[in-house]
């Protein structure tokens, strides 16, 4: 069995040719080459010794990154042609490090970040495959991989695959379920946006998600390769035929996020708090055409499974105001309906008064910007004059909490405290 010195010598011998090439092209001087070789020898003996640590690999990699950065600068300045093996060397070191310390997620994340920075997409596919295979019960890794494929490569097929496989191992992760639904909703928004830019009529075929979910996966409405080309590999970046076909596919109806939500509710036994989190997440996508249908589905579920709860009332209140701008003619009516709903809920469950009132104030404040802040200030002052100092102080505090960047609200809070 080879000892540490033999292993170090083996790896160092592989770098001799590259160092000679750098000296021959006068990118580095003989003294610099000698210094680099000496440094590498020291690092190789350390990492090949028994009891080496991940931090020692990191120091070695940082050294190689600095050498490669200097090499690139000099190649550019001298105007010489030199392929260089710096990137390959760094990838090789990361590979050795993650094989030796497979359980160190910090090393894996550095490996991924470097590959992303170098735009080594093929290498990234291999890295993600390896890391989730070694750490299948880490929801964050599945989410990170899916987001990478969606954000960087616009590859919904791979992103969806990672989410689906992640749920097989992390069924109890609420965050993973929420992120999967968010991914699919974001995809709907992107497709709808492209169709809008192209001026295509969206003729949505109303199809509901299947309720027959398998034990290991989420059953999604059928979308074939003929329906959509997720990579959009056309010269202009848009596959118009695919976008046309999507009009008759369930993707634009919100069927997929609904399927994920319903499957999550089965997994978590209809947890109303989680259902509210789904609702709030979906509500962030106010520009998605089918979002009201999705929100209504969540609300219908809550009404059926948890009527009269704080979570159901909160979702009903939000839906009353959803999509209505404070300056629109419809806003007063929507606000009236929302407040009537709130009053009815308070009559039925007065013990929830403090929670519901704070929630309602936060929701209304989130709609108010600019001139609307003046109205809040006047309302607080009016409450104070009426002798309702406690209510006025609470509203001032909530205003600052909701919008800490507002100078008016900060001054209002200070005036209430003095």
Among residues 115, 172, 118, which one has the least CA distance to residue 144?
115
The Cα 183–Cα 196 span in angstroms is 20
Contact 192, 253 (CB under 8 A): no
The tens place of each residue's pLDDT in the chain, 418 residues long, gives: 456 677 888 878 877 888 888 888 888 889 999 999 999 999 999 998 888 899 999 999 999 999 999 998 988 888 887 666 778 999 999 999 999 999 999 999 999 999 999 999 999 999 999 999 999 999 999 999 999 999 998 899 999 999 999 999 999 999 999 999 999 999 999 888 877 777 665 444 443 443 344 455 566 555 443 343 444 444 444 555 555 555 556 678 889 999 999 999 999 999 999 999 999 999 999 888 899 999 999 999 999 999 988 999 999 999 988 888 777 788 778 888 888 888 888 888 777 777 777 777 777 766 665 555 666 676 677 767 777 777 677 767 767 776 777 777 777 777 777 6
Terminal alpha carbon distance of the chain: 78
Tokens of 150: 């969606």
Q: What is the pTM of this model?
A: 0.76
Tokens of 76: 């550019």
Tokens of 175: 């965050």
């Amino acid at each position: 069995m080879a000892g540490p010195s033999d292993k170090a010598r083996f790896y160092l011998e592989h770098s001799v040719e590259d160092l000679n090439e750098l000296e021959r092209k006068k990118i580095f001087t003989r003294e610099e080459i000698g210094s680099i070789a000496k440094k590498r020898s020291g690092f190789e003996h350390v990492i090949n010794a028994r009891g080496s640590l991940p931090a020692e690999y990191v120091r070695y990699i940082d050294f190689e990154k600095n050498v490669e950065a200097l090499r690139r600068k000099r190649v550019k300045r001298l105007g010489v042609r030199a392929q260089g093996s710096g990137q390959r060397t760094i990838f090789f070191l990361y590979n050795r490090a993650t094989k030796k310390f497979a359980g160190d997620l910090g090393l894996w994340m550095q490996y991924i970040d470097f590959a992303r920075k170098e735009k080594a997409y093929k290498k990234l596919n291999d890295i993600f495959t390896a890391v989730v295979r070694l750490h299948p019960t880490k929801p964050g890794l599945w989410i990170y991989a899916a987001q990478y494929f969606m954000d960087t490569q616009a590859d919904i097929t791979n992103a969806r695959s990672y989410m689906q496989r992640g749920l097989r191992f992390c069924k109890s992760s609420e965050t993973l379920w929420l992120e999967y639904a968010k991914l699919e909703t974001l995809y709907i928004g992107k497709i709808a946006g492209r169709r809008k830019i192209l001026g295509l009529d969206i003729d949505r075929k109303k199809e509901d998600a299947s309720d027959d979910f398998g034990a290991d996966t989420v059953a999604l409405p059928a979308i074939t390769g003929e329906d959509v080309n997720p990579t959009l590999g056309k010269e202009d970046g848009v596959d118009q035929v695919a976008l046309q076909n999507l009009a008759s596919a369930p993707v634009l109806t919100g069927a997929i996020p609904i399927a994920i939500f319903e499957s999550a509710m089965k997994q978590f036994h209809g947890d109303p708090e989680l259902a509210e989190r789904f609702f709030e997440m979906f509500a962030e996508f106010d520009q998605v055409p089918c979002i009201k249908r999705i929100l209504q589905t969540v609300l219908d579920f809550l009404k059926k499974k948890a009527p009269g709860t704080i979570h159901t009332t909160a979702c009903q209140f939000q839906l009353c105001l959803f999509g209505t701008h404070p300056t629109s003619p419809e806003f007063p009516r929507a606000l009236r309906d929302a407040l009537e709903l709130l009053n009815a809920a308070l009559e039925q469950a007065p013990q929830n008064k403090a929670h519901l009132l704070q929630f309602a104030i936060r929701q209304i404040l989130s709609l108010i910007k600019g001139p609307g802040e003046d109205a809040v200030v006047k309302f607080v002052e009016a409450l104070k004059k009426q002798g309702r100092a406690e209510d006025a102080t609470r509203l001032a505090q909530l205003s600052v909490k909701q919008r800490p960047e507002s100078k008016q609200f900060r001054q209002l809070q200070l005036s209430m405290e003095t």
